[in-house]
Amino acid sequence: MAKVLAVVSSGYKDTDYHTGWWGEELFAPLKALEEAGHVVDLASPLGGKPELDERSVLPEYDPQGTYKALYESGRADDTRKIREINAADYDAILIVGGHGAMFDLAKNEDLHRIINSVYDRGGIIAAECHGPSVLVYTTRPNGKSIVEGLKVTGYPDVWEPEDVLPYLPYSLEQELRKIADYIPELDQKAFAVWGNSQIVTSRDPFSSELMGQELVKGLQKR
């Protein structure tokens, strides 16, 4: 049995735009991990109930209502504050996507510290969709990003909704391309890639189940 910390955005709001974490990107891997016997704790910058991106539970993205039901069950209503987390308690970190991650997770120094600590102890670092934005800004003792020179994926520019683009602080794809070997694999229904034996990234919400499978396999090898 391993302990996994799933980290979600607390949410971002301004006058014209609000966003948060993506339902499937938490609940699909969580289900896979728990069915494999692992324990999953939740954390966010502010703690408590984090802001869900409501689009993630619309029929377009959640046709069976699976993730809406899990959200309404309260499974994600009680997160711990990232700054209160003891990294030594965890074998893996899962950074959940949704545009919110670009705003309040990407440059969170407490999260960077936890990631580096888990990584240094041989743990797994996983990031989904917009979650790899955190890895861009997580620097190692040599001052370089933890994913510098590695194969990575993440949400591609070509799929970003036009109505959201004006509000994004940067392009995730372009930030990844500056430092890593960015692979979109647009023709595959789901895609995840291991940059090394400890770092795995996935492309989009529809790769969430695959991320769960990859984490389970990765934890089995530890």
Looking at every residue in the chain, the average pLDDT score rounds to 97
For the chain, which domains are there? Answer: 3-220 (3.40.50.880)
- State the pairing for strand pair 18-19/124-128: unpaired
pLDDT at 48 over 90: yes
pLDDT computed for residue 86 by the predictor = 98
Contact 8, 80 (CB under 8 A): no
Q: What is the pLDDT of residues 133-168, one digit of tens each?
A: 999 999 999 999 999 999 999 999 999 999 999 999
Q: Nearest 10 degrees: CA dihedral of 10, 14, 18, 215?
A: -40
Structure confidence by residue, pLDDT tens digits, 81-92: 999 999 999 999
pTM of the model: 0.97
- Which amino acid belongs to residue 210? L
Give, for 117, the enclosing helix (H) or strand (E). Answer: helix 109-120
Task: Give yes or no for a contact between 12 and 42, defined as CB atoms under 8 angstroms apart.
Answer: no
Question: pLDDT at position 159, please?
Answer: 97
DSSP-derived secondary structure for 124-192: EEEEETTTHHHHHH-B-TTSSBTTTTSEE----GGGS-TTTGGG-SS-HHHHHHHHSEE---TTSSS-E
The reported pLDDT for the residue numbered 143 is 97
pLDDT band at 15 (very low <50, low <70, confident <90, very high): confident
Average pLDDT over residues 47-74: 96
Distance in angstroms (rounded) separating the CA atoms of residues 8 and 138: 16
| 19-47 mean pLDDT | 98
CB 210 within 8 A of CB 192: yes
Say yes or no to pLDDT of 222 above 90: no
pLDDT tens profile 70-115: 999 999 999 999 999 999 999 999 999 999 999 999 999 999 999 9
The average pLDDT across 44-59 equals 97
Q: pLDDT digit string (tens) for 161-190? A: 999 999 999 999 999 999 999 999 999 999
- Work out the average pLDDT over 32-56: 98
